Structure 1
Amino acid sequence: MRPGAAGLGVVEVGQKSELQKMAAGERYRGGDPEVVESCRQAGLWMMRFNAMMGATSAERRVVLAERLASVGDDVVVRPPFYVDHGSFITLEEGVFINLGCTILDVCPVSIGAYTRIGPGVQILTPEHPRDPVERRQDIEYGRPVSIGANVWLGGGAIVVPGVTIGDDAIIGAGAVVTRDVPAGATMVGSPARPR
């Protein structure tokens, strides 16, 4: 046996922890102590980051790099910024995220270079079983979201679990992206459709 992450719980050798299952997009128990602790740590981190409204982008970038999986050069994230865990988010070079963005990252979220994200955008990876019995048993899972390079997500857009958005795409303000978006496409509405 070996200790779980952050010294929580014990996991059999060769067996995945609930946090590892979550990151892999497999079914996991949302109330598992390691998963709950990861969310708690993210909450403490958000309190620090969101108090940095008057800080420079460079100062905020240092704090982003403490929690996020990867933060490229010249990334700008304007607080407030909300995450589930933070540790599954990759921001490539030159990404700009405006006020009030929420990224629920129970599995990987990657955002390509020079992508622009408007205020109030939601990027969601969590899923819940359709079976009510499984939902009552605290079973959850997620599907990764991938956003290409040089994408523009307008204010208030929502990206649902499992979506891939190709390079150079434009997502209109308030659009709800429920399926993959080809490179260079412009999508508007709810559900988002080609313009």
Structure 2
Amino acid sequence: MTEHEKMLAGQPYNSLDSELRQLREQARLACAKYNAHPSKGNLKHITRLFRSFGRTAIEPGFQCDYGLHISVGENFYANFNCVLLDSNVITIGDDVMLGPGVHIYTVDHPRDAARRKSGECFSKAVFINDGVWIGGGAKILPGVTIGKNAIIGANTVVTKDVPADTRFIG
């Protein structure tokens, strides 16, 4: 398996792999082009990376690792300075709003320092269902699923699944 395949399978992988570094560089350049001159026309630099997207509004300051593993539904809104680290799949449903500075992480690192130093990482998918609102500054950690119509409070760190139709304030 390639390091990219291992990454998507949730297996330990080497983040220093040349293919992965090249893919991250492509995403950084696309984000930089959009963030330097944000417009509906320039949004294509980001959305052409995405696996799929519906009607989407993304404010400047947006960053992603690869973009390739992000799917967003209709009426998606990401406020200023959102970060989606998509070392694994990030699936976002319809009518989802992210407040400013929301971070969604799929990547994690070994707790052992020697393994971290070697570049080893692992990842878990994140799923955000329809109608979710995530307040500013919230952090969604790897492997989390957020149920339909849930509300995540500002500055909350979400470490476990959130049921549908609930408010989660950490």
TM-score scaled by length of structure 2: 0.95
* Kept after mapping to 2: 8 A contact 1:167/1:183: yes
Identity %: 38
1:130-141 map, 5 Å: 130-141=111-122
- Give the superposition deviation at 1:26: 1.3
Q: Deviations over 1:54-113 (max 9, x none)?
A: x23xx24433331111111x2111111011111111111111111100011111001110
* Kept after mapping to 2: 8 A contact 1:64/1:71: no
Matched residues in 1 for 2:45 and 2:110: separation? 34
Matched residues in 1 for 2:124 and 2:139: separation? 15
Matched residues in 1 for 2:43 and 2:31: separation? 13
Q: Count residues in correspondence.
A: 170
The change in CA–CA distance for 1:47 and 1:61 in structure 2 (over 3 A counts) is closer
Tell me which moved more, 43-52 or 154-163.
43-52
1:24-39 map, 5 Å: 24-39=9-24
Matched residues in 2 for 1:128 and 1:137: separation? 11
1:24-63 map, 5 Å: 24-53=9-38, 55-56=39-40, 59-63=41-45
Q: Is 2:85 the counterpart of 1:85?
A: no
Matched residues in 2 for 1:126 and 1:101: separation? 16
Matched residues in 1 for 2:163 and 2:32: separation? 36
Letter in 2 for 1:102: V
Larger Rg: 1
RMSD: 1.2
Tell me, what secondary structure is at the counterpart of 1:22? Answer: helix
Structure 1, unaligned runs of 5 or more: 1-15
Q: Deviations over 1:102-155 (max 9, x none)?
A: 011111001110001100001011111123332232211111111110000011
Number of the residue aligned with 1:144: 125
Higher relative contact order structure (alpha carbons within 8 Å, sequence separation ≥ 6): 2
* Kept after mapping to 2: 8 A contact 1:88/1:107: yes
TM-score scaled by length of structure 1: 0.83
Tell me, what secondary structure is at the counterpart of 1:90? Answer: strand
* Kept after mapping to 2: 8 A contact 1:60/1:77: no
